[in-house]
Amino acid sequence: MERYLNHSGSSGVAAYQIGEDYIWVQFTSGSIYEYTYSSAGTRNIEEMKSLANSGSGLNSFIMKNVRNKYSRKIQ
């Protein structure tokens, strides 16, 4: 997994891993969730990938748009 840059310094996201049709997000609690095209929608996943790569806004986007739309809890 790649460390989330966390430009704001206060994000709940610690790391992420991007796949073709999914993103795994590790939160600072240690929990890892998988969000997929089918669980959260293609547009949302692509936005999450972009935010993850930029290091800003991912946690806010998740809380506002896809909070419970994960496909599974990995850890």
The first and second tokens of residue 41, run together, are: 């929608």
The first and second tokens of residue 63, run together, are: 């809380």
How far is it, in rounded angstroms, from Cα 40 to Cα 30? 21
Q: How many CA atoms lie within 13 A of 1 on its CB side?
A: 20
Q: Model-level pTM?
A: 0.94
One digit per residue, the tens of pLDDT, for the chain of length 75 reads 999 998 888 899 999 999 999 999 999 999 999 999 999 999 999 999 999 999 999 999 999 999 999 999 999
